């Protein structure tokens, strides 16, 4: 290996690390925006209380990355961020566990199926929303002994509502990803 | 060794998943077991997010409110462009001050309530919701720097809102009474029946009231103070339905405080128990609204003598002259009025029941009265033409005739040739 190839490799590594640093920063900013939207948006639009932008982000990240480890870690990060703004009577970790599982399963599904088409992504988005709502409800009842009601009809309706929001959101994220890669 | 390593690599993601989930479950169990809320993470997250939310809320409150007012005023200006510019300016100012007043009204109500209640309170504004959609909690813009502590009651003048669940330096989290885990000790107004308010199922129910107890629809419930959160005597809501159940009554309440929609709240720093009032909680007294202003035309016709300026006096004088001389301003072929004449002085109208004409006219001068049917019409107006004025008034009605009885023969008109009397015989 001569000097010029060494220099090329070094510059490539540094650009890769810079790229990943940008990607991590972008993810942190996106997570913050998602959490703030969940924290603040219902004050402006009361029906937005059912909008799960952090969950939609977790699903997107899981579907776009076939490696489950980063997806589950991202899910855990988003979930714990949400947990830290949850009421004090709900301990930290409830959303963390749920979103960790969602991230892992989303990435596992993307390893086995082609999730590039929009329809499959939206179906999976709906499925993961229902799974997320049910698992969270089950954990609150089982682990915290809190008698929270679970309305199936309402959950399905909110799932459809979130899918409708996911459609443009994923298109925007796709554009951002393409721009990032280019 | 390589086989173990390869197998580990294939199960790597599963191992990481189990480790991450188990770590969180253990951490969760530790929090539940020790009842120890992890402050550090929450403080970091809240401190990172709430300033941004506060800024967004401030921008929304000021900028969007200003823009709304601006567009509203633009609309008003377009509508009033046809009117005079002075009137336009006054209206715009009026709208602006009215908006200011509306904005300040809620704060005024809070201030009045603060002064009225014996408990020491501090006002706060709701700046954000909780991230858990099923949990009912909000963030307020007061924290430990405003002496707010965990467990303090949060109320509005209309009713109860919730309790402080967590306190941070600049903000605090309030768990609303509509949360499924929240129960409030309540007491009925008439029978002083105690119960526990639970809004977990989406509808607020007063639990632990036996079927034998007497609770009527429309009855008020107040805080009983037994929960050690809310001081006794704060209004909670009215009963909307009462149904006997299995041992316990199903009493449903309509909360008076609207905890989810409150924008400004009061945090009770030092609660003082009060007696439950015997009367229905008084609503905020407001002055009765003024009647709508009368029409400008009615104003001028009802008050003809109220002239403000010299120009008004002139207008009134010429209008009176025009009336007296049968001149219609602006009409074609109307006679030219003589503006040099002075208008006739107005007769003061006697007040009703002032003693009749004799009392009104002690000098015994003839009074102008309404024309009697059949009498000649007399006009009192001065004429512009002096020759016309010298002539006696022409009677416009015929003199009355003697009425004939029904069926009588009609009299024939007299003729000049034939004498009406019969010829008389001459004596021989």
What distance in Å separates residue B204's CA from the closest CA in chain A? 14
Q: What are residue B188's DSSP bridge partners? A: B221
Identify which of A85, A108, A146 has the shortest CB distance to residue B180: A146
Residue B41 has pLDDT above 50, yes or no: yes
Cβ <8 Å between A84 and B27: no
Give the pLDDT confidence score for residue A106 in this predicted structure.
92
Range 124-143 of B in CB contact (< 8 A) with A: 126-135, 137, 139
Mean pLDDT of B351-375: 42
Rounded mean pLDDT, B236-246:
88
Task: Confirm if B249 and B212 have CB atoms less than 8 A apart.
Answer: no
Best-predicted range by mean pLDDT among B210-219, B359-368, B391-400?
B210-219
- The encoded tokens of residue B21 equal 């989930």
CA distance A18 to chain B (A): 25
- Among A135-149, B151-165, B360-374, the minimum mean pLDDT is found in B360-374
Q: Which range, A82-91, B166-175, B358-367, is most confident?
A: B166-175
Cβ distance A148 to A137 under 8 Å? yes
**What pLDDT was estimated at residue B170?**
87
What residue numbers bound the domain in which A101 lies? 3-181
CATH code of the domain containing A103: 1.10.1760
Q: Which of B41-50, B276-285, B415-424 has the highest mean pLDDT?
A: B41-50
Higher pLDDT, B366 or A166: A166
- Chain A residues near residue B175 by CB distance under 8 angstroms: 87-89
Check residues B47 and A92 and name the one with the higher pLDDT: A92
At residue B348, does pLDDT exceed 60? no
Of A84, A87, A97, the CB nearest to B45: A84
Asked if pLDDT for residue A131 goes beyond 90, the answer is yes
DSSP count for chain A of H helices, then E strands: 6, 0
Closest approach of chain A CAs to the CA of B61, in angstroms? 11
Task: Using pLDDT thresholds of 50, 70 and 90, give the confidence band for residue B357.
Answer: very low
Q: Judge whether B42 is closer than 8 Å to chain A, CB to CB.
A: yes
SS3 B296: helix
Q: Comparing B73-82, B156-165, B379-388, which segment has the lowest mean pLDDT?
A: B379-388
Q: Is B305 an interface residue toward A (CB < 8 Å)? A: no
Count how many pairs of residues, chain A against chain B, have C-beta atoms within 8 Å.
147
Q: Provide the 10 A C-beta neighbour count for residue A23.
A: 12
Scan for tokens 């970091």, then name that residue: B44
Choice among B29-33, B55-59, B163-167, B369-373 with the minimum mean pLDDT: B369-373
B134-165 pLDDT, tens digit per residue, is: 778 888 988 888 889 988 999 888 889 999 98
The interface pTM score, or ipTM, of the predicted complex is 0.76
Q: CA B407, CA B412: separation in Å to the nearest integer?
A: 15
Q: Does residue A127 have a pLDDT over 90?
A: yes
pLDDT score recorded for residue B87: 64
Judging contacts by C-beta atoms under 8 Å, the chain B residues touching residue A40 are 53, 56-57, 127-129
- From the list B200, B309, B2, the residue with the least C-alpha distance to B317 is B309
Q: Please tell me if residue B380 touches chain A, with a CB cutoff of 8 Å.
A: no
Domains of chain B: which residue ranges? 2-34, 43-116, 123-278, 296-341
Residues A87, B261: Cα–Cα separation, whole Å: 18
**SS3 at position B289:** coil
A140 in Cβ contact with A90 (< 8 Å): yes
- Within 10 A of B240 (CB to CB), how many other CB atoms are there? 13
Distances (CA, A) of B243 to B210, B239, B363: 11, 11, 84
- Pick the more confident residue, A6 or A76: A76
Confidence band (pLDDT; 50, 70, 90) for A75? very high
How close B100 comes to chain A (CA, Å)? 21
Q: Model pTM greater than 0.90?
A: no
Percent share of chain B, pLDDT over 70:
62
Two tokens at B426?
């001459």
For chain B, say whether A143 makes contact (Cβ under 8 Å). yes
How many distinct structural domains can be found in chain A?
A: 1
Determine the CATH number of domain B123-278: 2.40.10.340
SS3 label, residue B210: strand
Backbone φ and ψ for B140, nearest 5 degrees, come out as -115, 160
| Contact across the interface for A93 and B128, Cβ inside 8 Å | no
pLDDT of the residue at B396: 43
Show which of residues 90-129 on chain B sit within 8 Å of chain A, judged by CB atoms.
126-129
- As beta bridge partners, residue B241 has B252
Q: Distance between CA B243 and CA B316 in Å, rounded?
A: 73
pLDDT at res. B381: 42
d(CA A39, CA B59): 16
pLDDT digits (tens, 9 = 90+) for B81-116: 666 666 656 666 776 777 667 657 767 777 777 777
Mean pLDDT (whole number) for B169-173? 89
Indicate if the pLDDT at residue B127 is higher than 60: yes
- For residue B427, the model assigns a pLDDT of 40
The confidence score (pLDDT) of residue B373 equals 40
DSSP per-residue letters across A116-139: -SHHHHHHHHHHHHHHHHHHHHHH
Q: What is the mean pLDDT of residues A146-168?
A: 89
Nearest CA in chain B to A34: B131
Q: Which residue of B has its CA nearest to A49?
A: B133
Average pLDDT over residues A6-20: 47
């Amino acid at each position: 290996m001569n000097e010029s190839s060494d220099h090329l490799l070094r510059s490539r590594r540094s650009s890769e690390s810079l790229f990943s640093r940008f990607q991590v920063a972008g993810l942190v900013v996106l997570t913050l925006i998602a959490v703030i939207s969940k924290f603040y948006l219902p004050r402006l639009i009361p029906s937005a209380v059912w909008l799960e932008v952090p969950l939609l982000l977790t699903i997107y990240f899981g579907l776009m990355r076939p490696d489950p480890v980063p997806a589950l870690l991202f899910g855990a990060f988003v979930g714990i961020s949400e947990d830290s703004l949850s009421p004090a009577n709900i301990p930290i970790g409830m959303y963390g566990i749920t979103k960790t599982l969602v991230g892992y399963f989303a990435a596992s599904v993307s390893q086995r199926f082609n999730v590039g088409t929009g329809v499959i992504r939206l179906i999976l988005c709906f499925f993961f929303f229902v799974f997320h709502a049910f698992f969270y409800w089950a954990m609150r009842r089982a682990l915290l002994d809190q008698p929270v009601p679970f309305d199936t009809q309402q959950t399905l309706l909110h799932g459809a509502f979130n899918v409708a929001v996911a459609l443009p959101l994923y298109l925007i994220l796709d554009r951002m990803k393409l721009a990032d890669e280019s | 060794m390589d086989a173990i390593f390869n197998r580990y690599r294939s199960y790597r993601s599963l191992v990481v998943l189990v480790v991450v989930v188990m770590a969180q479950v253990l951490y969760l169990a530790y929090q539940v077991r020790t009842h120890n809320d992890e402050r550090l993470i929450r403080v970091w997250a809240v401190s990172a997010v709430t300033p941004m939310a506060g800024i967004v809320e401030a921008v929304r409150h000021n900028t969007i409110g200003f823009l709304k007012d601006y567009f509203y005023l633009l609309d008003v200006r377009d509508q009033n462009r046809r009117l005079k510019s002075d009137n336009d300016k006054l209206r715009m100012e009026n709208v602006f001050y009215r908006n200011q007043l509306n904005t300040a009204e809620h704060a005024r109500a809070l201030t009045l309530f603060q002064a009225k209640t014996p408990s020491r309170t501090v006002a706060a504004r709701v700046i954000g919701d909780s991230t858990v959609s099923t949990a009912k909690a909000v963030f307020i813009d007061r924290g430990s720097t405003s002496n707010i502590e965990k467990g303090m009651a949060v109320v509005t003048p209309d009713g109860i809102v919730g309790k402080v669940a967590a306190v941070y330096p600049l903000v605090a989290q309030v768990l609303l009474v509509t949360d499924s885990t929240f129960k409030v000790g309540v007491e009925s107004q008439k029978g002083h029946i105690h119960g526990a308010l639970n809004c977990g199922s989406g509808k607020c129910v007063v639990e632990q009231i036996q079927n034998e107890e007497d609770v009527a629809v429309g009855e008020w419930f107040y805080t009983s103070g037994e929960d050690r959160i809310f001081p006794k005597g704060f209004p909670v809501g009215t009963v909307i339905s009462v149904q006997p159940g299995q041992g316990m009554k199903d009493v449903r309440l309509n909360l008076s405080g609207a905890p989810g929609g409150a924008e400004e709240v009061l945090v009770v720093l030092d609660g003082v128990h009060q007696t439950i009032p015997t009367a229905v909680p008084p609503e905020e007294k407001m002055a009765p609204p003024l009647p709508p202003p009368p029409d400008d035309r009615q104003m001028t016709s009802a008050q003809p003598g109220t002239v403000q300026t010299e120009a008004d006096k002139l207008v009134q004088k010429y209008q009176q002259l025009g009336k007296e001389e049968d001149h219609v301003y602006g009409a074609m072929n109307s006679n030219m009025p003589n503006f040099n004449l002075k208008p006739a002085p107005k007769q003061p109208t006697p007040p009703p029941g002032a003693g009749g004409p004799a009392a009104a006219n002690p000098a015994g001068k003839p009074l102008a009265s309404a024309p009697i049917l059949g009498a000649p019409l007399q006009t009192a107006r001065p004429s512009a033409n002096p020759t016309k004025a010298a002539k006696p008034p022409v009677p416009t009605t015929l003199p009355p005739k003697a009425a004939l009885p029904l069926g009588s023969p009609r009299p024939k008109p007299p003729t000049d040739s034939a004498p009406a009397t019969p010829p008389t015989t001459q004596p021989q």
